[in-house]
Structure 1
């Protein structure tokens, strides 16, 4: 039984859930529109360039969560799923996940986006195991700080290795599907790295290393 690992944003879905959550907050008037949208867009550009300060970004992303109760946040997320996520779920991605399930593989998502945003999306794909950046929670509310290692670049490898040890699993025969050059540390670790709708940097690396590339769009 092999491990099939998926990135989420721009891999299983045709967009970036982290960025779209910011767009949702702006559209609904839950944050100051001008300043939040500009900062959100700037961080997204840094991500695409591979120079994102993950700690600065996550504090920015987690701050709105810290200002609301869990009940309110869950209501917001239900709206977000319907309006922003359902339209970008890729039928071919659902089929690919199902294919690995039929093969008897263990399925998981490893994403840099925080788990408040991503865990419900993973469940929409029928994937219960998800590693993402964890927001610190105290007394039933987000504090705005990060808990543990953020799952970004080398952080994905660190967190995955922790999970493997805790669950008695190995990477023998493992797959990892991703669109982003930020995921090269983990792509290099698995037996079967597969580029999905890759960015230019990742496609160039894949071509020079004879990695397969595909599209789910």
Structure 2
């Protein structure tokens, strides 16, 4: 019987975040400033503690207003080829490949914006994904999102909507993630699996007897 497996992306499929890889490319192309970059560690800590509100994602997207989408897509592809690809977890790649060969359905669900994760998903041949959508008019970012960011409870809502549209049963789905921010979806899906969980998710997973997977090996150069 075919199963549906949902994978978070950052720190679940890839060791680093796709955003962190992209920032290095964006810095060299003057799309972000050092003053913006130095704030990232604070935002990362807030994210890990589950304290980063969805509005923070919207603020970051507003900073992209007026930038050509094809420029962002090209930079994202460059950052994946130069940095991101080497950071992919080999065990996760193998697991996804085996699941696909067995006829199971793979869906990625990430709070990242689409252009950040598309190179990674294309590389892994994952055709179905749910991500934060940016509004683009005449090839330029407007600074607005289409719908709510796919973050926290927003990810659960987006996945529920997608499953309803596809006539799938979320109660039978398997969800893999590293982050306590995904707790709403973890508590909704049929089988929650913590992958390299952060401290809070590890504690919750142990208390709830959820499966915990620890992956360390990456593709490397």
TM-score by length of 2: 0.90
CA-to-aligned-CA distance 1:129-158 (integer Å, 9 cap, x gap): 110111111222211111102111111111
* Structure-2 residue corresponding to 1:108: 107
Report the Cα distance in structure 2 between the residues aligned to 1:205 and 1:137, rounded to whole angstroms: 39
The aligned runs of 1:25-174 (5 Å cut-off) are 25-26=26-27, 28-61=28-61, 63-64=63-64, 66-174=65-173
Aligned residues, how many? 215
Give the CA deviation at 1:212.
0.8
Give the CA deviation at 1:215.
1.6
1:192 maps onto 2:199 in alignment = no
Secondary structure, counterpart of 2:170 in structure 1: coil
Where structure 1 has 5 or more consecutive residues not aligned to the other structure, the ranges are: none
CA 32–185 in structure 1, closer or farther in 2 if over 3 Å, else same: closer
1:21 maps onto 2:22 in alignment = yes
TM-score by length of 1: 0.92
CA-to-aligned-CA distance 1:63-82 (integer Å, 9 cap, x gap): 23x34323322321221111
Paired residues of 1:19 and 1:44 also in contact (CA < 8 A): no
Deviation >6 Å, runs of 4+: none
74-83 or 3-12, which moves further after superposition?
Answer: 74-83
Paired residues of 2:3 and 2:104 also in contact (CA < 8 A): yes
Report the Cα distance in structure 2 between the residues aligned to 1:203 and 1:177, rounded to whole angstroms: 13
Secondary structure, counterpart of 1:193 in structure 2: strand
Where structure 2 has 5 or more consecutive residues not aligned to the other structure, the ranges are: 217-221
Secondary structure, counterpart of 2:39 in structure 1: helix
Secondary structure, counterpart of 2:45 in structure 1: helix
Report the Cα distance in structure 2 between the residues aligned to 1:15 and 1:84, rounded to whole angstroms: 9
* Structure-1 residue corresponding to 2:11: 10
